[in-house]
Structure 1
Amino acid sequence: MGDMWGLTARGICEYDGKILLLKVRSRSSHDAEKWEIPGGKVKKGEFFDQALKREFIEETGLEINIESLYNVIQNDYTACKTNEKVKSIQLIMKVSSTTDHVEISEEHDEYKWFTREELGELIDGEMLSKAAMNSFKKVELGGNL
């Protein structure tokens, strides 16, 4: 059997000069207690933009507008339920919201709006999820987020 491939859409949401990140719940088998970019898997037959909007509402309660492509990364992982190896292509989009009022789901322990300086500290301290780390380190911080 060949490799399994998946598609994930994530959104970097900036509001009032700060970037929204979600803290992965402590009991998660992937990236526990690390900060990640909101988003998730694209379901079969779903357009990635609709998946990203759905995931944002589910994870943050925010309705977003998708502005532009920010980065594309590959983030391989092992599926929790099936133990299968998955190669995941992740589309990292720049998104916007008209509010900073967040209501997180049970998937995360907390949320925070980070300044660019604080984001740099998270990168230096390796406190970001693998996907978030790869997303930010390939793009110049202070650039067009």
Structure 2
Amino acid sequence: MAITTTHLNFRGTARTALEFYQSVFGGHLTAIAYRDFGMPTDLPDADNIVFGQVTADNGFRIMAYDVPSHAPATAAPATTSREHGMTLTNQGFFVSVRGETTEEIAALWNKLADGADIIEQYGPSQWTPGFGMLTDRFGVTWILDVAAPHAG
């Protein structure tokens, strides 16, 4: 079954925010930095969070990441794009849908993609067998991925 999760976008404070949410709601914190995916450690964003989440037994779930520092802070209308393998955005949140199988998420992807701007085509990524990002015809940005255990 697919689960919808709020995905918050921060500018260098995702780790602190996730730690706070964990202290409030309990649960397990996952925080993976850009350097963990190969960004050189001497770059300014290397220690920022590229994938973070708090999941609790009570059903609470929130995801977050740090927008790369060279992305525009504000703009109208909302924008999201890919550059040098990083997602750049001025949006405060995404809607994240996570499912158990690639087939389940691919079926949802195919429907949401109708009339959408594709930011990252659905397919395998470094952390999951299925991931994609798009902005639908109504201007809402969605992340769709397959739940995969993380050893960390």
TM tier, smaller: under 0.3
Q: Could you tell me the TM-score, scaled by structure 1's length?
A: 0.23
Q: TM-score, normalised by structure 2?
A: 0.23
Structure number with greater CO (CA < 8 Å, separation at least 6) is 1
